[in-house]
Amino acid sequence: MTQKKIVIGNMKMNPVSVVEFERYLDMLGKEMKKNDFEKTELVICPPEVYLTKLVDEKISGVKSGVQDIFWEHQGAFTGEVSAAMVKSLGAGFCIVGHSERRKYFGENGEIISLKLKAILKSGLTAVLCIGESMEERKREQTSGVIKKQLKEAFDGIAPGRLEHIVVAYEPIWAVGTDKLPTSDEILEVKIIIKKSLAEMYPAKSIEKVRLLYGGSVKSNLVEQTCLDPAMDGVLVGRESLMPYEIVKIAKIIDGN
């Protein structure tokens, strides 16, 4: 069975009030009533404080996820939320390894691997973010950076778990900017990811890993960032704050 394409909205630390989020859900619901995706999954990852509202809204065609978890199951870890807690609320996805987590919270390969294992153990689907900085790209280190991030993250992950992992290529220099890699550059990284995974896993297992592009994704750029390089979907940042826009992105991908 062919896996569906996937569009994931990372709302980051937005919006700032419950009222705004309820308005967002209302608009998202109205947009989804106009659309019925056959080949594409739409996942929204709001701040965890809004997760229950998203799940309870039960918008047809919309799945829920979170932007981060802690790697322990439970215990004395003030301020943290476990994958098991997220799962119990009804979410199905969790982002891990985002460049902002690496930058602002010092998350390294070891931490990301721990989180990835916890996500999989709980029965959630992991959305693993990888990507290089502009300096690394200029130094022609993209391949080495991608391979290192994958090797660290997948350390100790069994082949049977791969179908529950989505890998999102998010070049750091494209996140939150209007700079974009070309279709060929995205395709090059796609090949690097495939080759890197092939060094660790059997070919049949690798086929189950969906590869996304993320970083300044907009509806008018879907062809360049997803369709031309034959990616399995996109991870959307700021544009996910506009229901019309993220549904439009999903619609374009679903129609191809």
Question: Residue 169 corresponds to which tokens in the numbers above?
Answer: 């290529």
| Residue tagged active-site, from 100, 132, 136, 170 | 170
Location of structure tokens 């799940």? 55
Region of 107 on the Ramachandran plot (φ > 0 left; ψ -120 to 50 alpha; else beta): beta
Locate the domains of the chain by residue range.
Answer: 5-254
Between CA 21 and CA 118 the distance in angstroms is 28
Between CA 100 and CA 38 the distance in angstroms is 32
Between CA 48 and CA 44 the distance in angstroms is 11
CATH superfamily of 5-254: Aldolase class I (3.20.20.70)
CA distances from residue 210 to 107, 113, 165, 213 in whole angstroms, order as listed? 23, 18, 7, 10
DSSP per residue over 179-223, as a string?
----HHHHHHHHHHHHHHHHTTS-HHHHTT-EEEEESS--GGGHI
Using an 8 Å Cβ cutoff, are 44 and 240 in contact? yes
Of all residues in the chain, the percent with pLDDT exceeding 70 is 100
Region of 151 on the Ramachandran plot (φ > 0 left; ψ -120 to 50 alpha; else beta): alpha
Q: Is 73 a catalytic residue?
A: no
What integer best gives the mean pLDDT of the chain? 96
| pLDDT, tens digit, 9 for 90 and up, residues 215-242 | 989 999 999 999 999 999 999 999 999 9
| pLDDT, tens digit, 9 for 90 and up, residues 105-141 | 999 999 999 999 999 999 999 999 999 999 999 999 9
Sign of CA dihedral 86, 87, 89, 94: positive
How much is the average pLDDT of 29-48? 96
Q: Name the residue type at position 226.
A: C
**What pLDDT score does 1 carry?**
56
**What pLDDT score does 175 carry?**
85
**What pLDDT score does 198 carry?**
97
How much is the average pLDDT of 26-49? 96
**What pLDDT score does 210 carry?**
97
Residues 6+ apart with CB under 8 A from 66: 45, 46, 48, 51, 81, 86, 91, 93, 94, 95
Q: Is 164 a catalytic residue?
A: no
How much is the average pLDDT of 156-178? 93
| Residue tagged active-site, from 98, 100, 132, 136 | 98
Using an 8 Å Cβ cutoff, are 184 and 205 in contact? no
Q: Tell me the β-bridge partners of 93.
A: 65, 125
**What pLDDT score does 2 carry?**
72
| pLDDT, tens digit, 9 for 90 and up, residues 4-13 | 999 999 999 9
CA distances from residue 26 to 89, 112, 122 in whole angstroms, order as listed? 20, 34, 30
CA distances from residue 229 to 19, 151, 190, 203 in whole angstroms, order as listed? 39, 23, 8, 20
Who wins on pLDDT, 175 or 127? 127
In a 13 Å sphere around the CA of 22, the CA atoms on its Cβ side amount to 3
Of all residues in the chain, the percent with pLDDT exceeding 90 is 95
